[in-house]
Amino acid sequence: MAITQHLIVTLILVLAVAWIFAALFARFGLPVILGELVAGFILGPSVLGVVTSSAPLELMAEFGIFFGMFFAGMEMDPRELIEHIWPSLGVAIGGFVIPFVLGYFTTRLFGATVYQSLFVGMGLSITAIAVQATLLQNMRILQSELGHIIIGAAIADDILALIALSVLMGLAKTGSFQTVTLLIIVGKVVAFFGLTMFLGHFVVPKITPKLDDREAKSFTFALLAALIMSGLAEMAGLHLIIGAFMAGQFVRKEAMDEEIYRKIRDRFFGLSYGFLMPIFFVSLSFHLHFTWTWSFILLSSSITLVAILGKFLGSGIGGYVFGHSIPECIIIGSGMTGRGAVELVVAAVVLQLSDGLMKTNVISHPLLTAEQFSALVLMGFITTLLAPMLLRWSVMKACHADEQEQFCRLWKQSERM
């Protein structure tokens, strides 16, 4: 994989158009990632077709998620995350189960098989942690109580999705429930978070006070921590971005020199939000390839509507059970609505498994059809597009009634910047 003239021209186009649309959207008070998504839609196969997905671009998009999640981790206090673990779990369970069930029955109404309906339902139940972290960071409410609950719930959603995917894939392969496989998955997840807490509380605090910034070695240490934790997350079957986020929790200002922390923070912010994250959001739009038939329009519209309502209601109910007000539950539901790339990865894995099982005659019907996959892609794009508008609307509505709330004060600061 080399830096070619074609790659350079592609990067110029992607970054320039993303920058223009981001600035345009920001001028009208809209989140910049909306502009970046629209830029990708225009540049990609759906409209102009001047830029297409490629291995180097996808790699940089992955690094965009990686650096962005590390930065999000640096911005959040791990003690706050732990403090709000039960509301986060309530939001995660409600936001996972209700879209899953609604997605299953909706897909069944369109004549899908049981397995197809189960996999579509799982695709609807996933929340994109990278998208949510970016939204919350842009609105400066990442450090608020609601920000911690949304991020904690998004992490829990990823874990639930991992377990559900493994169970469903086991059922598709063998036709039976694999208890041992499920116990192994849960054991690896528990081991990952246990190791994370041990490193974060006992090992890293002994190293960070000794860091200096000679030749940016403090940045090197932070990058090593992120890579190691991402590798451990992958070994546990989780997405690498969860490892990057947890590593960012280690490198926090309470555990190191304030000046060193600021320099590390600025470097990760510049690399992610200034360079790699725009590539990630632009490249999300490249997955839009559709045949506009009435059956596809009806299926994708129904799936998208169910995805929004299911996540909104499920997450909101989860927050309400743990004592949050209706306006706060609306914010939580809005914050959990966006998807992104995770459900695309899951759907791609299911398609790959389906092809293998079809070739060996283990199954007679695909686990996911091309039309269902395309509907999931469109659902991911629309919900990612709607999430910032819903979140902004819900915060404005809540803050109009009570400007003294913590998230309101943080959001007002972002509006003045």
pLDDT at res. 107: 95
pLDDT digits (tens, 9 = 90+) for 273-306: 889 989 988 887 776 666 778 888 999 999 999 9
266 is a domain residue:
yes
pLDDT at res. 117: 92
pLDDT at res. 184: 81
pLDDT digits (tens, 9 = 90+) for 9-36: 999 999 999 999 989 987 876 667 778 8
45 is a domain residue:
no
209 is a domain residue:
yes
Answer whether 387's CB lies under 8 Å from 135's CB.
yes
Q: Enumerate residues 6+ apart whose C-beta is below 8 A from 305.
A: none
Q: Whole-angstrom Cα distance, residue 395 to residue 26?
A: 17
393 is a domain residue:
yes
344 is a domain residue:
yes
Question: How many Cβ atoms from other residues are within 10 Å of residue 188's Cβ?
Answer: 16
Single-letter code of the amino acid located at 310: G
Q: What is the pTM assigned to this prediction? A: 0.70
Q: Whole-angstrom Cα distance, residue 241 to residue 271?
A: 16
Answer whether 156's CB lies under 8 Å from 88's CB.
yes
3-state DSSP assignment of residue 283: helix
Most confident by average pLDDT, 261-270, 301-310, 371-380, 395-404:
301-310
Report the percentage of the chain scoring pLDDT > 70.
83
pLDDT digits (tens, 9 = 90+) for 59-100: 898 888 788 878 877 876 667 667 788 898 999 999 999 999
Categorize the per-residue pLDDT at 314 as very low, low, confident or very high, splitting at 50, 70 and 90: very high
Q: Enumerate residues 6+ apart whose C-beta is below 8 A from 214.
A: none
Q: Enumerate residues 6+ apart whose C-beta is below 8 A from 262.
A: 253
28 is a domain residue:
no
24 is a domain residue:
no
Q: How many helices (H) and strands (E) does the chain have?
A: 19, 0
pLDDT at res. 191: 87
379 is a domain residue:
yes
pLDDT at res. 284: 74
DSSP string over 124-152: HH---HHHHHHHHHHTT-TTSHHHHHHHH
pLDDT at res. 342: 61
Total structural domains within the chain: 1
3-state helix, strand and coil shares in percent for the chain, rounded to the nearest 5 = 80, 0, 20
**Token pair for 148:** 């911690």
Residue 174, burial from CB neighbour count under 10 angstroms (0-12, 13-18, 19+): exposed
- 232: domain CATH number is 1.20.1530.20
Whether pLDDT at 310 is above 90: yes
Structural domain including 179 reads: 66-416
pLDDT digits (tens, 9 = 90+) for 341-378: 566 666 766 776 777 778 877 777 888 887 888 888 78
Whether pLDDT at 54 is above 90: no
